[in-house]
Amino acid sequence: MLILRKNFWKFFIMMIPAFILLIVFTYTPIIRGGVMAFQRYNMFDLSDTGFIGFGNFKAIITDRNFDFVRIVINTLVWVFFSLIFQFGLGFGLALLMRKPFKGRGIYSALVFYPWAVSGFAIGLIWAWMFNGQFGIINDILVRVGIISHPIGFLSDPKFAMMSVIIANVWYGIPYFAIMLLAALQSVPNELYEASRIDGANRFKQLFKITIPYIRPTIVSTVLLRTMWIMNFPEIIYGMTGGGPANSTQILATHMINRIYQFYDYGQGAAIGFIIMSMLLLYAIVFLNISSRKEVTV
């Protein structure tokens, strides 16, 4: 008992630096931002930073220049379609890379390359590719006869959101490919051999062996990636800046605009509070649904 107590205190002392870093760089900013969301905190006038209740939230929702409902819908569209295609294509690439083949190293490097580039730089690259006058995408589509004249992908509200989602999908595929490939390599080959003896085809193996076996990895990667996508405005800033006509404006870009364009830290913190609340609710619901399904399997 004495040895266990000594080990506990030794472990606790070793963890103190980590606790201090968490408190200083994680929990303190969260608490400060939560408090600021209920304060009048505009950098143009710091003489009065008193509490105003839900005034910041009301100002955000009723702002005529920014349709808050549309921004929320844009955020959900941005997250949903980015996540679906990132996961689907990443999972497919992970399945292809699971078994050794000639040129696998080069193929893997090409797949994982986007993950090594910053989001804003990727936004700039894709902005050039989608350019309405000299972009390579318009050039290819015109040459193959799909369109007769160039399209302003980033200047037309009908195409802008689709364009930024395509760029985000390209950026996020490596994350799922890396994580799911690692999980796939842990699936015992004996399970596949036994299923083949029982007459199972690859489709049945996928849904009866592969997916159930790597289910914990799928749940954790989808949960984390959803949170990252919702808090990932870099590509949108690099491509459209939230335009045209706020057609690609999401909560994360709206929050940054409130802080760096209008210098209203109170309203920016309020938007951050809304984002955090949405993600917390999503995490609770998602994990509850996932745990129920896992129990029934």
Contact residues for 222 (Cβ-Cβ < 8 A; gap 6+)? 83, 87, 286
Mean pLDDT is lowest, of 7-11, 42-46, 207-211, for 7-11
Q: What is the pLDDT of residue 203?
A: 85
Q: Is the peptide bond before 233 cis (omega within 30 degrees of 0)?
A: no
Beta bridge partners of 45: 42
Mean pLDDT of 245-249: 92
Contacts 24+ apart (CB under 8 A), 253-262: 254/66, 254/71, 258/60, 262/42
pLDDT in tens, 53-88: 899 999 999 988 889 999 999 999 999 999 999 999
Q: What is the pLDDT of residue 4?
A: 56
Q: What is the pLDDT of residue 6?
A: 64
What DSSP assignment string belongs to 174-207? HHHHHHHHHHHTTS-HHHHHHHHHTT--HHHHII
**How does the average pLDDT of the chain come out, rounded?**
87
Q: What is the pLDDT of residue 291?
A: 78
Q: What is the pLDDT of residue 115?
A: 79
What is this structure's pTM?
A: 0.88
